[in-house]
Amino acid sequence: MPRTTHAAAGRARRSPGRSLRRATVVMATLALAVAVTGTGGAPAVAAPASATSAPSSRAASGAPEVRYRPIDPRALAGRTAAPARAASGGGRYNVNGYNWGGYVMTAGNAATAPFGGAVAAAADWIEPTVTCSHPDDVFAPWVGLDGDGSPTVEQLGVQTDCFRGAAAYQLWTEMYPAAPVYQSTTTYPVGPGDHMEAGVQYSGGTFYLTMRDITRGWVYLSQATMSGAQRVSAEAIVEAPTGAYPNFGTLNFTSTQLNYGPIGQEPVTALDPSYLGVFQARTNPTDSQGNWSMTYLHE
């Protein structure tokens, strides 16, 4: 979902940055070790489930019921949030990301940006072991385009939900404002310790979404179109749709690339998520190759 400004029970938001160099952006360049080519050089997508399709029935697929409550940023227009404070111990924090934590690069509107707007986002991460303390605890690491100052988001990631008392991990895609599409946990199982490799690429009017579980050996490929997508930003984000994070300890990302290169070599903004004025996690510095982590602070 897009980043929204905290209002009573809402959150979201986005940030700046721009690449000064052009690179050929293909899935291989984004550290996505999925070699797929089709006619005309476009990725050949054999998607088990398209991101443009209606949400699949999780009951029918055997996947657990996962709750996701997106907040329409347009409903929060004109509202101003109080600055967040440290959850404990004080210290220096990054830009307040509200419902977003992680790194974002703002590329400008696709119609006016030097390189045609945001075209790619990719990252690897290790799924953490999660401790649930409340049924509302939900969080999701993801990569995507748009949402930082635009009304759409093209994204995919893994959501961890504590609704039934124990952490349930599930692959999902979303072409916001359309509803998220949750994938079968039988076909695409995910668990703590899994090495995930995710990417979103825009090419020729189509968004290509790729996820690979290196630990378990499966690959998910999907493609979608999005009317009105402005491609103003690219991001690698950790988000709690309900505003309540489970304790994930430290979540480690590697090889994070937004648009044209590793985030450690590009102008990006680090975001710390907050809710009701309290920072919930800390985004740690990245190295030159886009390796960084996020540390849990507060539910």
User: Does 177 sit behind a cis peptide bond, omega within 30 degrees of 0 on the bond before it?
Assistant: yes
**pLDDT at 277 (0 to 100):** 87
pLDDT tens-digit series, residues 219-245: 999 999 998 999 999 999 999 988 899
Q: How sure is the predictor about 138, in pLDDT bands with cuts at 50, 70 and 90?
A: very high
Q: How far apart are CA 158 and CA 142, in angstroms?
A: 7
Count of CB atoms situated within 10 Å of the CB of 35 = 8
**pLDDT at 93 (0 to 100):** 61
**SS3 (DSSP) at 81:** coil
Rounded to an integer, the average pLDDT of 183-205 is 97
Between 80 and 83, name the one with better pLDDT: 83
Indicate if the pLDDT at residue 57 is higher than 50: no
Indicate if the pLDDT at residue 74 is higher than 50: no
∠ CA 101-239-7, nearest 5°, is 85
Longest dimension (CA), the chain: 56
Indicate if the pLDDT at residue 71 is higher than 50: no
Cβ neighbors of 273 (< 8 A, separation 6 or more) are 11, 97, 98, 99, 100, 101, 238, 239, 240, 245, 279, 280, 281
Domains, in order of start, for the chain? 4-296 (2.60.120.700)
Q: What is the dihedral of CA 167, 163, 279, 177, to 10 degrees?
A: 110
Indicate if the pLDDT at residue 89 is higher than 80: no
Indicate if the pLDDT at residue 29 is higher than 50: no
**pLDDT at 173 (0 to 100):** 97
Count of CB atoms situated within 10 Å of the CB of 295 = 14
∠ CA 51-289-195, nearest 5°, is 50
Q: How far apart are CA 268 and CA 239, in angstroms?
A: 18
Q: How far apart are CA 58 and CA 52, in angstroms?
A: 17
Helix (H) or strand (E) holding 72: none
The structure's pTM equals 0.74
Residue 270's nearest CA partner among 104, 118, 127, 52 is 104
Residue 36's nearest CA partner among 221, 188, 259 is 221
Q: How sure is the predictor about 192, in pLDDT bands with cuts at 50, 70 and 90?
A: very high
Indicate if the pLDDT at residue 172 is higher than 60: yes
